[in-house]
Amino acid sequence: MATTTYTVSGMTCGHCVGSVKQEVSKIAGVTDVTVELATGQVTVTGTQPVSDDDVRAAVEEAGYEVVSQ
């Protein structure tokens, strides 16, 4: 298992959390996504390391931005 944590900006509610979680969960190999609204932290766990570009694209598809990793 590989786990990486990202900081995402722009999330303000539970719907935001759900949107990010849903989009990131679609990435091949992702087994778990945890989103903390208060800190903006998104923790992605996969069967192998997940591409940062794929995570960034998924977060952007949900309407938010990865500001750090």
The domain defined by 2-6+14-68 folds into Alpha-Beta Plaits (3.30.70)
Using an 8 Å Cβ cutoff, are 46 and 29 in contact? yes
Question: What does the pLDDT read at residue 68?
Answer: 87
The tens place of each residue's pLDDT in the chain, 69 residues long, gives: 899 999 999 999 999 999 999 999 999 999 999 999 999 999 999 999 999 999 999 999 999 999 987
Q: What is the pTM of this model?
A: 0.94
Can you give the residue ranges of every domain in the chain?
Answer: 2-6+14-68
With H, G, I as helix, E, B as strand and everything else as coil, classify residue 67.
Answer: strand
Separation CA 46–CA 16 (nearest Å): 22
